[in-house]
Structures are given as C-alpha cells and as structure tokens.
Structure 1
Amino acid sequence: MTGFYHPELLLGLLLIPVLVYYYRHHEKHSRRRALEFSKVSFAKAAQAAQASAKTRPASGFFTPKRTVFILFLLALTFLIVGLAGPHIPLETEKEGVNVVLAMDVSGSMQATDYKPNRLEVAKKSALLLVESLGEKDFAGIVLFDSGASSAAYLSPDKEKVGRKLLAVSAREGNTAIGDGLALATDMADSIPDRRKVVILLSDGENNAGGITPAEAVSFAKSRNIQVYTIGLGSDEPVLYDYDSFGNPLYANLDEENLKYIAEETGGEYYRSVDEATLGEIYAGINQVIVREAEETDVSRVFFFLGAMFLLIAMFMAFGRRQAIP
C-alpha cells in the first residue's frame, strides 16, 4: 500500500509554516523600518505615489519576491517528502515468482492406478504448470524419497527445467516429506526480494528423513514461503510392490499432514484421484498463486520536482531580471 519508508522525516514539513511566519514578520518589519528612516520629502513623495496608485490596478499577491519565496517553499516540501521515501504499489508485478516443485519419487509413485504410473502422470501434469509460468517467474525442482535432492535449480529457463522434470525417475526409498519441504524452501529463498512458492506433491505418509513436517513448516514460515500441497492417490490403498519378505506394500496417502502444511503456510491443499484431476490441478494452480503488487520507491520524482522548483526560484532571484536586488 502507499506509504513512506521513513515517515518520521515528514516532521520536517513543520518548517514550512515557521518559514511563512518568519517571512511575513520580516516583510512587516522591513516596511516599518523603511517608513521610520525615510526623509519627510520622500514620505510625501511616497504618499503621492500611493494616492496615484489607487487609480492603477493593484499588483496582486504574487509579487516577484513572494513568488520566489513560494517556489523555495515548494522545493523544500518536495525534497522533504522525497527524503521520507514515498512508495506506491504497482498494478502489475515488476518481478516474478520463485516456484519450486517438490515431488515425491518414493517407491509408491510407481503404483499403476494412474496410467502408466503415478510418477509419469505427475511429471506430465507438472510440466503444464512450468509451461504456464510468466516470463519473469523462476522454476526449480526438488525430489524426495528417503531423503531430498535438487533436480533443477531455480531458473528463468522453463524449457530447461521442463526437460529435467521429464527426466526424473522413480526410486525405491520411503517418503521424507519434511526433508523435501525444507530443501524446497531453501531453494525458493535462494533468490531474494521475490515472492516464493513451493508446490509439494506426495502420495504417501512421512516415514523417513531427518526433518519432521512440523519443523519444515516452521522453516517455511520463517522464510515467508507459501506452500501448496497435492495429495495423489486413489480412494483405496493401492498395492505397488512387495518387500524382501514378500509382504505387500501399499501407498497410503496422509491427507492430514498435507492439509496442515498448506494451512500453516497460507497455501491450499488439493486432492487428486485420477489423471484428469491431477492435470486440472497443475493447470490451474498458477492462477491461484498470489502475485502482490510491488512497492516502488517514487522518491526520485519528488527530488526532481524539488530541484526543478529550486532552480526556477534561483533563476528568478538572481537571474537577469532578478527579483532580489
């Protein structure tokens, strides 16, 4: 919103009425001294001049000296306001958004309830989001299973990021949601002074890693990161593999954790139950990312106006037709 970075400096505007009072006081005393020390003959001549002046139109309030004084006041006003650091919000963003995709690549992402499997559908759907980002937006990719790693660092080159996204492959590990969110937060915050968003997709529950989801959420909030979460999976648990003892492994979606992450960081939670809904989520999520108008310092405008009025006043006061003899 419109405001000032240093509003306390606006107290300098109190000088304006003080200077006006001093100027008027000085004007009155100057006229009084002129009358007191003038000769009688000069006073009579002045009275005659005043009498004849009644038949002429008045010169008005804006005498040359007063005009110079008013210009100096305007210059001082603009310079003080400029020093206070005025800023206004732009209607369109000057800078883009840092968007980091945090993608679950644990073993459960190989489940085939999404064809050909969950990971392949997630990659193609996420590509829709990457391609829909604005020209000034940056995109990056973090992968997590039993730990977390970077697959593509933040870059304005969405085509390059898209290629790296499509090259992602599934792993055999568990699901470290906390580690993935923490690394994605760190990446999103790596380019400062921009809005920062993490989009986290998972089909399982946090069962690995050294950072809990609560700790990762606290870290994201401290860096002012907004997190959108996507829960991927069918309504019923899906068998995706067997362990070394022959026991079946099921993908169990932990919606409560994903909802908690989104709510605590000011984002939103989405639930995907098939290929179509996942594509719709990724295609539309760019529209709900809040892009706030940037506060832009306009102090230079006030400095320019102040300097302009000051130059005009100096030219009138000391130029060829100087108002101050």
Structure 2
Amino acid sequence: MTFLSPQWLLLLLLVPVLLLLYVLRQRGTKRFAIPFTNLPTLSQVAPKRPAWRRHLVAGLFLVMLSLLVVGTAQPAAPVKVPRERATIMVAVDVSLSMEATDVAPSRFEAAKASAKSFIEGLPERFNVGVVAFAGVATVVAPPTSDRSEALRSVDNLVLDRRTAIGEAVFASLQAIRSFDSGNGDDPPPAHIVLLSDGDNTYGRTISEAVVAARDAKIPVSTIAFGTPYGTVTIEGETTTVDVNKVVLRALAEQTDGRAYEAEDSEQLSEVYESIGTSLGFRVEDKEITSVFTLLAALMALITGALSLLWFSRLP
C-alpha cells in the first residue's frame, strides 16, 4: 500500500501523545481520589464499573483517530484494471511437423481453431496481427482491431518446410514497430504469442531473437505444442516429431514472457484463455480512502454506543 499524500501521516505522532496523556490522567485520578468510608452509600451513588470498559472506549477512540489520519493521507493499493488497448502478434508454426495427429485432429488444425478462439476472446480495443512461419516468417495479417482479417488469415494458413522461430519473432517485432509508428509517443503495450512444436532450423537464432525482443521490451510467450509421440509422413517416410520444450521455455523466460505446454486441443484452449487474461489487465495504484473513512465511521459509532451504554455520555 502507498499513500498519495504521505505528509498527513505525521499526525499519527499525536496518537501516542494522547495515549500518554490518558495514562497520566488515570494515574492522577487514582492519586487524588477522596476517601469515602460509607461503602453501601457509595455503591448506590457511584456504582463500581470494570475499569477495562473505560480503557476500551478510550482505545477505540484512538483507533478511530488513527483511521481518519490514514484516510486523510489518501492510501492507495495495487489493483488489476482492464487494459484499454494493446497490440498482440500471434505467431503460428506452419512447418510440416504440424501435420502430426498426436493432438486431434492434427496439431495444425487444433492450433488454428484455438488461435481463432484466442483472437475472438481478446478485448475489443486490442489490436491483433498474425505471423505464419516455416522456412520464412510472413506477416499474414498486420495488427488491427478488425478481428475478421486476423481470423481469415488463420483460416488460410498452409504448411511448408523448415522452422524459423527466430525469424517469427523478428517479423512480429517489425509488425509491431510499423503499427506503433502511427501512434505517436504513446504506443500501446505489446506482446507476442508464439506457438511451435519444433526446433529453430532456419534463419536467425533464438539468441538473436531474445536480444531483439528484450531491446524492444516486448515479452514473448510460447506454447510448446504436441507430445513426444507425434509422427508425420513426408514423401513416404515416417518421421518422429518431438517438441523442444527447453528452447521454447528459454525464449519465453528470457524475454519476460511465460512458457506453456499444450498436449491436446482442450488444454491449448485453456492456455490461450490464461494468456488472454494476463494480457487484458494492468496493475495500478487505486485510492482506497473510502475504506478507511468507512472504518473510522464504524469505529466512531461503536465507541459512541459503548460510551452511552456504559457511562450514559459520549466520550
């Protein structure tokens, strides 16, 4: 918790001073008490009350003052609020290994369906673009708030040879830079979501992509798509296509993104939902003065009620 007007907290120094004055007053009251020998009469005119009641009322009064001072200092707490805008690039691996059917009906078709679900679920003011990558990376839909263009580009994806993960990151960064150039000095926050099932076999390296993403301060979240048991048949030859989770996790962690694993279409949908939730909010300090004001008011009511009940007067 932070305070927007912390100088008012100096008034809290008065609370221990008031407490000290209260203690000294109680001691003085005992010291100058007048002896009264007729105890039956004394019990009628001044019935004995437990001392803790008086101390409790005084303590509640000091707590009330403390809450009022804290409220005056304008306390603020970090809260999650929806982002109004952001730019998201969805990079989809379209290498031939995505034909593997270990994720039904195939990695490729499951990825397309889940990517479309993710795009449709983004907040309206988010701009989204799509990059397809195999041996080269191509921006098939530049960032736009028009969901139909991004969805149409996903439907039109086709498979090709090789896997250029590094190039996919560079193509996404370039698309974001081109889009931001039209937004003046206040570009929206950006994020890259990269889905792949294989190694970087062509183009610039993962290390180069990490450096570029970090320089641009744009996180890359990755989804390792598939299982260790996937196979594809290319030109009559069946090949095992495993998932390099280590490389994808390193790319995500080194760019301040998050690494996910999706071994079936249902799990992939949950992954996309999780990413969309994390992108849809930002943390900012929100003033919560009203909370402390309400607590102080409740404390004042309790203090007054107890004082009237026990001593027939207000403190």
TM bracket, shorter-chain basis: 0.5 to 0.7
Is 1:219 equivalent to 2:212 in the alignment? yes
Looking at structure 2, the residues matched to 229 and 259 of structure 1 have their Cα atoms a distance apart, in angstroms, of: 7
Shift of 1:293: 6.0
Contact 1:131 1:159 in 2 (8 A): no
How much identity, in percent, do the aligned residues show? 31
How many residue pairs match? The answer is: 205
Alignment of 1:107-122 (within 5 A): 107-122=96-111
Is 1:255 equivalent to 2:245 in the alignment? yes
> TM-score, normalised to structure 2's length?
0.60
Which position in structure 2 is the counterpart of 1:268?
Answer: 258
Looking at structure 2, the residues matched to 165 and 125 of structure 1 have their Cα atoms a distance apart, in angstroms, of: 10
Distance change in 2, residues 1:166/1:242 (3 Å): closer
Looking at structure 2, the residues matched to 217 and 229 of structure 1 have their Cα atoms a distance apart, in angstroms, of: 12
CA RMSD of aligned residues (A): 2.4
Computing the radius of gyration from Cα coordinates, the structure with the larger value is 1
Gaps of 5+ in 1: 4-88, 296-325
Distance change in 2, residues 1:247/1:164 (3 Å): closer
Contact 1:94 1:294 in 2 (8 A): no
Which position in structure 2 is the counterpart of 1:189?
Answer: 177
Distance change in 2, residues 1:110/1:94 (3 Å): closer
Contact 1:203 1:252 in 2 (8 A): yes
Shift of 1:106: 0.2
Contact 1:105 1:143 in 2 (8 A): yes
**Deviation per residue, 1:98-156 (Å, 9 max, x gap):** 00001100000111122221111101101111011111100000011111111111000
Distance change in 2, residues 1:127/1:2 (3 Å): farther
Please give the secondary structure, in 1, of the residue aligned with 2:249: helix
Which position in structure 1 is the counterpart of 2:221?
Answer: 228
Contact 1:108 1:240 in 2 (8 A): yes
Which residue, 259, 282, 291 being the options, matches 1:292?
282
Distance change in 2, residues 1:183/1:145 (3 Å): same
Please give the secondary structure, in 2, of the residue aligned with 1:108: helix
Amino acid in structure 1 at the alignment position of 2:124: E
Distance change in 2, residues 1:250/1:95 (3 Å): same
Gaps of 5+ in 2: 5-77, 181-186, 286-315
> TM-score, normalised to structure 1's length?
0.58
Looking at structure 2, the residues matched to 224 and 133 of structure 1 have their Cα atoms a distance apart, in angstroms, of: 21
Looking at structure 2, the residues matched to 141 and 122 of structure 1 have their Cα atoms a distance apart, in angstroms, of: 13
Contact 1:188 1:198 in 2 (8 A): no
Please give the secondary structure, in 1, of the residue aligned with 2:154: helix
**Deviation per residue, 1:43-68 (Å, 9 max, x gap):** xxxxxxxxxxxxxxxxxxxxxxxxxx
Distance change in 2, residues 1:114/1:96 (3 Å): same
Which position in structure 1 is the counterpart of 2:72?
Answer: none
Deviation beyond 3 Å, 4+ runs, structure 1: 89-95, 290-295
Looking at structure 1, the residues matched to 275 and 81 of structure 2 have their Cα atoms a distance apart, in angstroms, of: 19
Looking at structure 2, the residues matched to 114 and 269 of structure 1 have their Cα atoms a distance apart, in angstroms, of: 19
